[in-house]
Amino acid sequence: MQGTKGLFVPGPTNIPHAIRQAIDVPMEDHRAPDLPAFILPLFADLKKIFKTQSAQVFVFPSSGTGGWEAAITNTLVPGDKVLAARFGQFSHLWIDLCQRHGLDVEIVDVDWGEGVPLDQYADRLKADTTHKIKAVLVCHNETATGVTSDVAGVRQALNDTGHPALLFVDGVSSIASIDFRMDEWGVDIAVSGSQKGFMLPGGLAILCVSQKALEATKQAELARCYFDFKDMIATNKDGYFPYTPPMNLIRGLRVSVDRLLDEGLENVFARHHFLATGVRKAIDAWGLKLCAADPKWHSDTVSAICLPDGFDSGELLKRAYYRYGISLGAGLSKVAGRVFRIGHLGDLNEMMLMMALAGAEMSMRDLGVPVEAGSGVAAAEEYYRSAENGYKDMVPMLIAAE
């Protein structure tokens, strides 16, 4: 097929031209004497993305999974109890990782389509009078189901019970796209990845670690080497890394952070909400439902869309890819074959999403899914057009040049 394929999975996301240019540079000396003048300001600006003043940022050559591993191995002891909710593939995988490291995971199973159950977390924390729970895990944005959970509510549950457990957050598909407040929410470790809101190729796990969590490293006994915070601290303070860093990705990260800060984080969040709302208008017009069971769970970075019984989302993805040249996200694990996903995060605008909606709509009609021709596209179009002035009020930078 001629032309550019459309990428609408919830990660990896589209890479802006300026970031691609920043990555496509000759190899450089990662021990050069002028490298700290580049690295140290980058660390400082990354803290702004996490909205923290006191925490420390680490950048590991890894995926987000490596970030999960770094979080637990640097702070916990074999046999430690952690509290975690399982409500999608990625919350499940973090639990699995903890169990493989010999941790005792107290699992709260939740219907896929819901988020962290604050009441159950509060009850379990209150019941833990001897404070055996050492860490509480939260998947801020469950990418598999398009569900966003209330991190601030989890912090409130910890505070209300006076529980000292560390608060760990998977923010891989939320940080740099939807509101995240490290200090205000009392998050101890936040894990993100380069391939989503940061608009980079996969390959960097970007963590932010509180002083409380850094203190916990003194008693941590889980085996680690590559992901050891101590090695990073010893070299990062001087603007270097303990091993060869992927400097091309880090050069791209500098441009990514600049773009996010230039747009303004609140504007970034408003843009994602605006784009996501248009997608949800289309889904409503198709007569379909989101996997997210209630509007309070709706994600502004990915929509997981349920197909009617009798239709296979795997076939829909193939049709969209081979016939219309667009990549949509697959249903994973429990929802495999039942849902497809549209990622709406990173470097996106209305017209790009109209391509995703038109391609999804045509693919569904090709497979016999009973959706009316043009219904979803029209609904999104009318929302984006009629909401234009309100969106401009939210994002004044977008009209500064007019």
Query: Residues 187, 127: one domain?
Result: yes
- How many domains, in total, are found in the chain? 2
Mean pLDDT, the chain, integer? 95
Q: Which residue has better confidence, 87 or 386?
A: 87
Please indicate, yes or no, if residue 219 is contained in any of the structural domains: yes
Structure-block tokens of residue 314? 């795997």
Single residue among 241, 262, 283 that ends a domain in this structure: 262
Mean pLDDT of 260-284: 97
Inside any domain, residue 7? no
Around 256, how many Cα atoms within 13 Å sit in the side-chain half-sphere?
Answer: 30
191 and 205 Cβ atoms separated by less than 8 Å: yes
Token reading at 54: 């006191």
pLDDT at position 400: 46
φ, ψ for residue 292 (rounded to 5)? -60, 125
Q: What is the mean pLDDT of residues 173-199?
A: 98
Beta partners for 375?
A: none
Summarize the confidence of residues 126-131 as an average pLDDT. Answer: 98
**Residue 225: Cβ-neighbour burial (10 angstroms; 0-12, 13-18, 19+):** exposed
95 has a pLDDT exceeding 50: yes
Say if CB 66 and CB 60 are below 8 A apart. Answer: yes
Look at residue 275 in the predicted model and tell me its pLDDT.
96
Q: Does residue 383 carry a pLDDT above 90?
A: yes
In this structure, are residues 236 and 207 in contact, taking their beta carbons and an 8 Å threshold? Answer: no
Tokens 């230039």 belong to which residue?
262
Alpha carbon 13 to chain centroid, angstroms:
11
Do 133 and 272 belong together in one domain? no
- Of 236, 262, 288, the residue at which a domain comes to its end is 262
| Residue 139 binned pLDDT confidence (cut-offs 50, 70, 90) | very high
Higher pLDDT, 4 or 375: 375
CATH code at position 292: 3.90.1150.10
Q: What is the pLDDT averaged over residues 193-207? A: 98
The CATH number given to whatever domain includes residue 161 is 3.40.640.10
Is the pLDDT assigned to residue 346 strictly greater than 90? yes
Asked if residue 3 is part of any domain, the answer here is no
From 262, 296, 315, the end of a domain falls on 262
Q: Are residues 276 and 176 in the same domain?
A: no
Tens of pLDDT, residues 292-309: 999 999 999 999 999 999
Query: Is pLDDT above 80 for 332?
Result: yes
For residues 134-160, average pLDDT: 98
At 402 the pLDDT is 36
Q: Is the pLDDT of residue 399 over 50?
A: no
The whole-number average pLDDT for the span 199-208 is: 98
- pLDDT by residue (tens digit) across 60-69? 999 999 999 9
Q: Taking the chain, what is the end-to-end CA distance rounded to the nearest angstrom? A: 37
pLDDT at residue 397 is higher than 90 = no
Residue 2: what pLDDT? 78
Residue 8 within any structural domain of the chain = no
The model carries a pTM of 0.95
- pLDDT score for 131: 98
Considering the domain architecture, whether residues 179 and 98 belong to the same structural domain is answered as yes
Stretch 340-345: mean pLDDT: 98
pLDDT digits over 7-43, tens only? Answer: 999 999 999 999 999 999 999 999 999 999 999 999 9
User: 11 lies in a domain?
Assistant: no
**Parent domain of 328:** 264-399
Contact 377, 282 (CB under 8 A): yes
Average pLDDT over residues 152-160: 98
From residue 15, alpha-carbon distances to 11, 191, 206, 212, 342 in Å are 11, 21, 17, 35, 17
CA distance 135 to 157: 13
Q: What is the mean pLDDT of residues 44-51?
A: 98
Is the distance from CB of 366 to CB of 323 less than 8 angstroms? yes
Average pLDDT estimate for 356-372: 98
The proportion of the chain whose per-residue pLDDT surpasses 90, expressed as a percent, equals 95
